């Protein structure tokens, strides 16, 4: 029988734990008996989480800041994390020539730089301890060119490609550390509202997304894609030229509206 990749782990550090997919990871991993280290920026939500999960540790951190990323790695060491759910992320919607540069650089700092720093910091920590599991939260967006959300799609491509590459490094070096990348399609969370978008396809629930992901992690899967139609999009992106898959994406994105335009 295949070894369960999660059963010998005890403490999960979850970024983006105050909302959506990260909050659902907290719920399901807590129900499985994991200790939790929960992080986000929203102090009130963190306080509520600490009451909901007695014994959990909460860390307020703005992961757009490098120093907060490094502080979080120290907290992971201090509280003996052996799973990292690298989930915090944001999106920016609109034509590249019109989007706000501050929001875009914030997004790059969070989706790319913070994800990279935490991935590396926790990998070093877990390798030194001879065990650990890192889940980077990408998106099916990482497979495609994404007109009207070009920076977001490119940021998720970074997460996908880096995780795939590091997975192979670990495999060929017989590392005890496991890594996976979660690439969901639309999930019912506050993501779109926070990105200022309305009119999106509803998608699966965070509960379904996380349940499927935990099953994938138990099997040590590199690529975890919940929902059949999302798998079809990922496959289609490999079969079609980028101009075609990107044009389909453009048509889908055009149907969305910026909340400020309503
Ligand atoms: N929902 C979807 O359709 C979908 C699809 C594919 C991939 N994803 C990915 O899934 C991940 C989670 O998104 P979600 O859907 O759960 O969205 P969400 O409900 O908006 O949650 C985003 C989380 O990220 C945290 N966050 C945002 N900015 C942060 C910052 N500067 N520093 C630290 N934490 C920050 C937020 O916490 P605070 O507000 O407390 O800081 C929140 O907990 C993201 O990486 C997203 O790209 C989502």
**d(CA 195, ligand 1 centre) in Å:** 10
In a domain, 150, yes or no: yes
In a domain, 61, yes or no: yes
Which residue's structure tokens are 């992106």? Answer: 237
Instruction: Give ligand 1 pocket residues (Cβ under 6 A).
Output: 16, 18-22, 40-42, 45, 61-64, 87-90, 110, 137, 139, 184, 186-187, 189-191, 194, 203
Say if CB 125 and CB 100 are below 8 A apart.
no
In a domain, 33, yes or no: yes
CATH of the domain at 54: 3.40.50.720
In a domain, 86, yes or no: yes
Q: For the chain, what is the domain count?
A: 1
In a domain, 159, yes or no: yes
DSSP class of 2 = P
For each of the chain's 262 residues, which pLDDT tens digit applies?
456 788 787 999 999 999 999 999 999 999 999 999 999 999 999 999 999 999 999 999 999 999 999 999 999 999 999 999 999 999 999 999 999 999 999 999 999 999 999 999 999 999 999 999 999 999 999 999 999 999 999 999 999 999 999 999 999 999 999 999 999 999 999 999 999 888 778 899 999 999 999 999 999 999 999 999 999 999 999 999 999 999 999 998 988 887 776 5
**d(CA 261, ligand 1 centre) in Å:** 23
Say if CB 112 and CB 158 are below 8 A apart.
yes
Residue 213 is part of which domain span?
11-261
Ligand 1 atom closest to residue 62's alpha carbon, by position in its atom list: 32
**d(CA 22, ligand 1 centre) in Å:** 7
In a domain, 2, yes or no: no
Which residue's structure tokens are 């060491």? Answer: 77
pTM for the full model? 0.96
Strands 197-198 and 257-258: antiparallel
In a domain, 171, yes or no: yes
In a domain, 1, yes or no: no
**Alpha carbon nearest to ligand 1 atom 18, residue:** 191
Could you report how far apart the first and last alpha carbons of the chain are, in Å? 55
Q: Residue 56: what pLDDT?
A: 97
């Amino acid at each position: 029988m295949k070894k369960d990749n999660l059963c010998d782990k005890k403490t999960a550090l979850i970024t983006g734990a105050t909302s959506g997919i990260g909050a659902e990871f907290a719920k399901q991993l807590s129900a499985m008996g994991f200790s939790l280290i929960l992080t986000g920026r929203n102090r009130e939500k963190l306080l509520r989480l600490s009451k909901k999960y007695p014994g959990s540790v909460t860390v307020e951190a703005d992961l757009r800041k490098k120093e907060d990323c490094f502080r979080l790695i120290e907290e992971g060491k201090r509280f003996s994390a052996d799973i990292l759910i690298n989930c915090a992320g944001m999106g920016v919607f609109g034509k590249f020539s019109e989007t706000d540069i501050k929001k875009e650089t914030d997004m790059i700092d969070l989706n790319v730089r913070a994800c990279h720093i935490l991935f590396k910091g926790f990998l070093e920590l877990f390798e030194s301890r001879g065990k650990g599991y890192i889940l980077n939260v990408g998106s099916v967006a990482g497979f495609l060119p994404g007109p009207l959300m070009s920076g977001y799609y490119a940021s998720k491509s970074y997460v996908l490609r880096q995780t795939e590459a590091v997975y192979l490094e670990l495999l060929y070096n017989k590392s005890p550390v496991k890594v996976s990348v979660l690439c969901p399609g639309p999930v019912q969370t506050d993501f779109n509202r926070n990105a200022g978008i309305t009119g999106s396809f509803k998608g699966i629930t965070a509960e379904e997304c996380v349940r499927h992901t935990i099953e994938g992690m138990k099997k040590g899967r590199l690529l975890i894609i919940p929902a059949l139609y999302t798998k079809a999009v990922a496959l289609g992106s490999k079969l079609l030229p980028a101009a075609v898959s990107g044009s389909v994406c453009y048509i889908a994105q055009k149907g969305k509206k910026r909340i400020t335009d309503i």
